[in-house]
Each structure stands twice: as structure tokens, then as C-alpha cells.
Structure 1
């Protein structure tokens, strides 16, 4: 299984951490996001969306990070990370769809404004952050209620739902995500997800570095 990715991005970090959790072996093919390699050939022959990551497994080419995690978990027969029980699987699928359609876009605003823009010499746009704040807190409160009394999103152990939902928050300090208003969400992220070996192995830090000092 080849994973074409740049480990610094949200969705690439998600896939790499997820594959580590699943126990799925993979070969990383680096695609430099900031150099725009995802927008050129030969990568666009793999993923015409010009976005990372993408997976190549034999003659199967797959993009969409959550689909890659679903495939890998089934390929490895890892029912702990992606249960085969119909109700639990439907629950996980719900969170995966919600993450990509709602949670990711809201968290991404903080990443762009507080991380990417300053790194490129710009300044955060306070009006953009203010406009997004109500939506972020609305969504964060959904997770807050879900995690009240729970260590994990679904079931008694970590699943690909936990990895997917944590990924848009993976630089939460640098992003300046307002998590103090959501203590259950913050506790889940810092005390559960961030303690996973798979998460620590795929560490990304401020400045989009993958090397701990």
C-alpha cells in the first residue's frame, strides 16, 4: 500500500496516524504540499482533485482520507478500529461524514488564519475568526456532549472516528482553538488521543515540523 502524502497536513496526518492505529503497513511517497507538488503531474494522474493524500494498492487508487481508513481497517480485518457491528459502524460512519463536511472546515479556519498566514508573512484576519467562532463552538459543543462520560467517541477503545475527529485539531495550540470552553473535548484530545502511540509516532509541531527538538 502506497500513501502519497505530506505528513504535515491535516488529512495526511489523519491517514498516517490511522494506519498506525490499524496496524496497516504502508510505503510513504512524499508529496510536498507547500511546493504545490499535489497540483502537478504525475500526482494528478493519481488524484485529479490535486489534494493529498491518495492511496495506491495494486490497481486500486483511492482518495478521500476517511475512505482510505475504512478500506485499510477492513483490509487488515481490524474490527477494533472499525467495528463490523452494524450499529457501531453506522455510528463511526456518521462521525467520519460529519468530520469531513462540518468539523474540518471550521477547524481549518483557525489553521489558515493563525498558522499558515503568519508563516507566509501575513496576519490573521480577526473578522474571519470572529465570523467562524459561533459555528466552531456549535460543533465543538456537539462533541462536548458526546464525550461527557466517555473516553472514546465510539465504544471502549480508539477507532478511526477518534483519529478523524482529532486530526483537524492536531495543532490546536498553534491554531489557538478555543478549547477551554469545552473541557470534555479538550480532555479527550489531550489525555486520550494524544497519548496514543500512533498519534505520537506521526507528531507534527508548530511551524509544520515533524522533528521534535
Structure 2
């Protein structure tokens, strides 16, 4: 049975932050679509850090990311993009690290160098391995290429094997406390599980996801998954 010390969690994550923050004089604008795992990652990070964001939806299902307006913000035509005064940041991992450093709040990205290294490791893993698999599977799905290619499914399971091994050592991906790493990979995995059956062999991964689901910020992820599932169901491909 899963046990979480909610008193300690809320004390750590939602205590009042009294330091003078450089955020006070900055307007932060986020462009994105909640169906996108990277966008949800940014929104969840901002929520935990209690950062106010002016959110502008860029509907990727009708191609708004390819509009002239958005290309002027992000020439890569991808979401999310964060605008802070005259600076634009166009990668969710970079955005979340930026928000942590800008806020001065270390709850998701502690200053201890070994912990940061473990968090960075998982962020790079998501960027270079896990999310590209997710993206490729969804691209094929919406292009009518279904069921998923077995080689891609093997790559997904191999990645989940690695995450399982991490969770065999610690309660969370980078140690004994939740961090950016968990929020990042959770958003990716829960997305791909909308079209790929959840693996029963990855028991630690499934327990970890259940712990994430019990936390307040998960409502953002749930809302985005509902939007994603609406478009998944339009295609009506059978699940694996």
C-alpha cells in the first residue's frame, strides 16, 4: 500500500516563500497546448513554484504552431515557448530549469550538486530518448500507421526498464524527494499510455505514477491528458 507523508510534502512544497524574488518585476508568458507533455511539464513546474504565468493556447491540432504569429516567437514551430520580457526560451527542460533558478526556490531543483546531476541526467534522458519515442509513436498514430511498430515498442519498453531500475533504488527518480525529473518523465509516460497499454511488468513505474496522481499539481496533467485523449479517440485505432 502506498504511503505518503502529506504533512511533510505540503510543508516542503507549498510553504510561503518570503524571499525577494526576481519574478516580482517580470511578466512571464507561456505559449502552448496542454495536450503536449512538455507544456504540461512547464505548467506543473510553475504551479509548484507558485509562479504566475500568462498562458496563451497554441492549438497544435489545427496547426496554430505553424502560423506566422507563432513562427515569429518560435521559428522551430513547436510548443512550449516562454517569453520573459524580450527573451524567448523554446525547450521545456530549459524553461523549467530557468523558472527554478529565477524563482530562487530549490524545492524541485536543489542546489546540492550530486542531486542536480541526477535530475539533469533524467531530463537529458527524456529529451534525448524517452520523449522522441513518445513523439514518434504519436506521429505514426495520427498518420494512421497503426499498430505501433514493434521496434518502437521495444524502445519504449527498454526506456521503461531503465526508469524501473532507477525506482528500485529510490522513491523518486532523482532520490528520496520529488523533483523536476519526476514531473518531466511522468508527463511523457502518461501521454504515451493513452495509446499504448500500460506495462504490468514495470511495477515500480506504475506505483510511482500512482504517487504522482495523488499530488495537487497532477490535476494539470490530468486536464491535458483529457484533451489529448479527445483527439486520440477521433482516430479510433485499437489499443495494443
Give TM-score scaled by structure 2 length.
0.77
Are the equivalent residues in 1 in contact too, given 2:187–2:221 (CA < 8 A)? no
Distance 1:19 1:48, change over 3 A: same
- Aligned counterpart, 2:23: none
Residue 160 in structure 1 maps to residue 180 in structure 2 = yes
Deviation at 1:73, TM superposition (A): 0.8
Are the equivalent residues in 2 in contact too, given 1:151–1:192 (CA < 8 A)? no
5 Å-filtered alignment, 1:1-213, equals 1-113=28-140, 116-117=142-143, 122=144, 124-126=145-147, 128-189=148-209, 191-203=210-222, 204-206=224-226, 208=228
Between the aligned partners of 1:107 and 1:33, the Cα distance in structure 2 is: 16
- Aligned counterpart, 2:4: none
Deviation at 1:173, TM superposition (A): 4.2
Distance 1:173 1:92, change over 3 A: closer
Cα deviation, 1:100-123, whole Å, max 9, x if unaligned, reads 110112233443455x35xxxx4x
Q: Which 5+ residue runs of structure 2 have no aligned equivalent? A: 1-27, 231-240
Cα deviation, 1:84-134, whole Å, max 9, x if unaligned, reads 1111111111111110110112233443455x35xxxx4x523x4312122
Distance 1:206 1:198, change over 3 A: closer
Give TM-score scaled by structure 1 length.
0.86
Q: Which stretch of the first structure deviates more once superposed, 143-152 or 60-69? A: 143-152
Q: Which 5+ residue runs of structure 1 have no aligned equivalent? A: none
**Partner SS, residue 61 of structure 2:** coil
CA RMSD of aligned residues (A): 2.0
Distance 1:172 1:186, change over 3 A: farther
Distance 1:180 1:110, change over 3 A: farther
Between the aligned partners of 2:72 and 2:168, the Cα distance in structure 1 is: 44
**Partner SS, residue 194 of structure 2:** helix
Of structures 1 and 2, the larger Rg is shown by 2
- Aligned counterpart, 2:7: none
Distance 1:185 1:137, change over 3 A: same
Are the equivalent residues in 1 in contact too, given 2:29–2:82 (CA < 8 A)? yes
Distance 1:89 1:10, change over 3 A: same
Deviation at 1:201, TM superposition (A): 3.2
